[in-house]
Amino acid sequence: MALRNLVALSALLEAALAGPTVYLAGDSTMAKGGDGAGTNTDGREHLYLGGELGLTILIGWGQYLAYSLDIPVVNNAIAGRSARSFWEEGRFQSIANNVVSGDFVVIEFGHNDGGSLTPTDNGRSDCPGEGAQTCTSTYNGATDTVYTFNHYLEEASQLYSAKGAHVIISSQTPDNPWETGTFNGAASRFVQYANDTAATLGASVASYVNHFGYVSARFQSLGATVVDGYYPVDHTHTSTAGANTVSQAFVKGVVCGGSYLSAHVKNATSMIPGSCL
């Protein structure tokens, strides 16, 4: 028993000396295989026919975050997930098992959280509302108590905060706002829900990055031609260039908002495209 405790203490000490790590929890728009097809657990960017060279690579913005930071990034985002399914599959807990004091966890969901629990529950839709509401549903032949989007984010944030980690709740990225030819910056309700959740938790537990707002502002300034090129397959999943721009927008939000993570950003605020909101 004493030896086991010593080994565990040694592992914690090693992690502390190595410095903090950033963990990412999200969906395909953040994930390495950022195409929304399947689970993307093969660890590869996904290729599609099209583009000037005959192939298009889709990738989530989380893959570019490490280039802006002086600490490592572990991308645990996975396609097709909502806050609910990420929780029910134990993925938030898996991150918590590795988190140590001083680490950072970025939580970003919303793209897959909408929809209805009836007539068929897809396992992703949350219970409507943003408080303590619950819904009873049947999923995969079993009765499931479904909570609100805010509830899942709050529970996950408390998991990480209890271990001394810094939580960043980030609002979802926009779908292509130039898709119709006219810019549309309207946000889904989950953008406000993310903001409200961070406010409820308070600064001692979580900070907020308006990722949706920063991406939208950047996309509006870039114009339809450039932004349409960022979405070569559909209106949600980005090319490598699009993912890089979306990542830069997140970093802009981090440094402008004064998050603890801003201390680990390599770039000066003025070097990152866009303006503070």
Report the catalytic residues: 28, 234, 237
d(CA 27, CA 44): 15
3 state SS of 35: coil
Between the alpha carbon of residue 189 and those of residues 111, 193, 217, the distances in Å are 11, 6, 18
d(CA 42, CA 33): 8
Are 90 and 97 spatial neighbours (Cβ–Cβ below 8 Å)?
Answer: no
Tokens of 223: 């114009």
DSSP state, 126?
P
In sequence order, the 6+-apart residues with CB closer than 8 A to the CB of 160 are: 95, 96, 99, 103, 105, 167
The DSSP code sequence of 1-27 is: -HHHHHHHHHHHHHHHHH---EEEEE-
Classify residue 131 as exposed, middle or buried by CB count within 10 Å of its CB (0-12, 13-18, 19+).
Answer: exposed
Amino acid symbol at 222: L
* Strand positions, DSSP E, the chain: 22-26, 46-49, 55-58, 73-75, 104-108, 134-139, 142-147, 166-170, 206-209
Amino acid symbol at 29: T
